[in-house]
Chain A
């Protein structure tokens, strides 16, 4: 196993009195592209939010690059679910991308020309250069997701968490996003992606983490993406006939 960039020990989290996550233990190595899969309500989004301290942890310890989240904040990028923001907000695509730089720009400073250029570059990379000045409500779902990805790119983080970036996007966007993820991986970045489509797991991810309130299995896709593990994570009602005949109920927005 390569250098460990994320180490999670005995993590637990709850909403009010319902425990959503318990005994979560895993470690992620540098340069890996991990798909986090599991049924609805398995706690996939909660896991990411808890790791990023957006949701309180009941117990447990998380180490990023061998240190605390606070110290490593600037090296971590987050792509929330597309549905988590109001796309009628009065702003343009370029501005949304620039928000990824607000942490670096710092207090009391305004975004400069340099930041604008960086944001434009990232949009261009996602094939969205022509839409830079477009009001965000006029973008399609796939285009909105590309804007979110561009925003993650300008952060230039070393470790990315993405919550369902492929949910409800068109085929071209799905390809564009996967290309970027593979490119990130090729440059040594580590990416964790909450994913809902079991049929594409083997094509897209080199590691897979089965989650159902706790880690069911985690490892290289070639080794752990088996019928047994899928059944264990999704419960008995998941008839795992390999070869693309999964009957998956797609998650609605959480």
Chain B
């Protein structure tokens, strides 16, 4: 495959994984958690690197899961001590992220792992760093990792679709039916973490938040079915990734920045033209009088 094709595949995988996970982040009202975890996985990666001295995919995933769950646990714990939810999130993630930065600067000093890279990502280098896989042949490392994560996310969401649905909509009922709500919360945090860490190389910690939240927020405006929202959000993720790449190629600028920007444009488009929730349809349709009459 060509250089451009690899970049598009990689970016599309980011778009799909983040799009699917993002739907549940939004519906669970946990958009801020995405921001938090996207930063604290840095600590997980650094610790994984310090222990194993290599920057391989599986180690990074395990480190990220560890960091993600640690973040969720700390936030829950602070919140249980009367610290408001948003303050607990803000305190925990900045502290853990700072710890990651300190560790990188003082212990790691490796060309592959620096703060700039972690924050902004660098998709342009991805196609050069290839690994040879059986059957498929030469695949960029980051792309292979993303494909693995996308599969994990997809299988977890499809296999436990109705459990995700009920624990998101009505956790109290779910618990009374015997569904382990808290356990699923931590599984979900793990999924967010591995999605984030796999997307790191491509788009970085800051842009991954855009990919997680914005396509899902756009999809929310278009449909009234959860399954449709998941599908649309995944598609929006891919569209943003591809459009973003071509914007970047056109005006010769940052690819990850352009992709995040494309999600914003897509949201604006949805906000204006979505059939029921869009601004224009609200203008055109007379306001429904309520059932009270």
Residues of A within 8 A of B (CB): 16, 49, 52-54, 73-74, 76, 78, 80, 84-86, 89-92, 95-96, 99-100, 102-103, 105, 107-108, 110-111, 135, 137, 140, 143, 151
Shortest B81–chain A CB gap in Å is 9
One digit per residue, 1 when the CB lies within 8 angstroms of any chain A CB and 0 when it does not, for chain B 171-196 equals 01111111100000000000000000
Q: Given contacts A89-B27, A135-B224, A140-B291, are A102 and B176 in contact (CB under 8 A)? A: no
Q: Tell me whether B223 is interfacial, beta carbon within 8 Å.
A: yes
The residue in chain B whose Cβ has the minimal distance to the Cβ of A89 is: B169
Please name all residues of chain A whose beta carbon is closer than 8 Å to the beta carbon of B225 when the two chains form the complex. Answer: 90-92
Q: Which of B162, B165, B173 is within 8 Å of A80, CB to CB?
A: B173
- Name A54's contact: one of B29, B169, B172 (CB within 8 Å): B172
Mind listing 23 A-B residue pairs with CB under 8 Å? A53-B175, A73-B176, A76-B176, A78-B173, A80-B172, A84-B170, A85-B169, A89-B27, A90-B223, A90-B225, A90-B226, A91-B165, A92-B224, A99-B173, A102-B174, A102-B177, A102-B179, A103-B178, A107-B160, A107-B163, A108-B159, A110-B162, A135-B224
Contacts of A86 in B (CB 8 A): 27, 29, 169
Please state if A90 and B224 are interface contacts (CB–CB under 8 Å). yes
CB distance from A96 to the nearest CB of B (A): 7
CB distance from B26 to the nearest CB of A (A): 10
Chain A's closest residue to B288 (CB) is A138
Could you say which residues of chain B place their CB within 8 Å of the CB of A102? Answer: 162-163, 166, 174, 177, 179
Judge whether B7 is part of the interface by a CB distance below 8 angstroms: no
Q: Are B175 and A54 in contact (CB under 8 A)?
A: yes
Compute how far the CA of A71 lies from the CA of B229 in the bound complex, rounded to whole angstroms.
37
The reply to whether A91 and B169 contact each other, CB–CB distance below 8 Å, is yes
**Is the CB–CB distance between B177 and A73 below 8 Å?**
yes
| Distance of A148 from chain B, by nearest CB (Å) | 9
CA distance A39 to B100 in the complex (A): 51
CB nearest neighbor in B for A17: B82
Report chain B residues within 8 Å CB of A53: 175
Roughly how many angstroms separate A151 CA and B162 CA in the complex, as a whole number? 15
Any A CB within 8 A of the CB of B290: yes
Contact B175 A73 (CB under 8 A): no
Q: Which chain A residues border B170 with CB–CB below 8 Å?
A: 80, 84-85, 99
B169 touches A78 (CB 8 A): no
CA distance A102 to B161 in the complex (A): 11
Interface check B271, CB cutoff 8 A = no
Point out the residues of chain B lying under 8 angstroms from A76, CB to CB: 176
**Max chain B C-beta neighbours (<10 A), residue from A84, A89, A111:** A89
Closest CB-CB distance, A147 to chain B, in whole Å?
A: 11
B220 close to A (CB within 8 Å): yes
- With a 10 A CB-CB cut-off, give which of B169, B225, B228, B291 has the most chain A CB atoms: B169
Q: How far apart are the CA atoms of A140 and B169 in the complex, in Å?
A: 18
Complex Cα distance, B176 from A74, in Å, reads 9
Give every chain A residue within 8 A of B174 (Cβ-Cβ).
Answer: 102
In the docked arrangement, what's the CA distance between A78 and B170, Å? 11
Q: Considering only CB atoms, which chain A residue lies closest to B170 in the complex?
A: A85
Q: Is B168 an interface residue (CB 8 A)?
A: yes
Task: Write the nearest CB–CB distance from B220 to chain A, whole angstroms.
Answer: 7
A-B pairs, top 10 by smallest CB distance, nearest first, are A103-B177, A140-B291, A135-B224, A78-B176, A80-B172, A85-B170, A99-B166, A89-B169, A90-B226, A90-B224
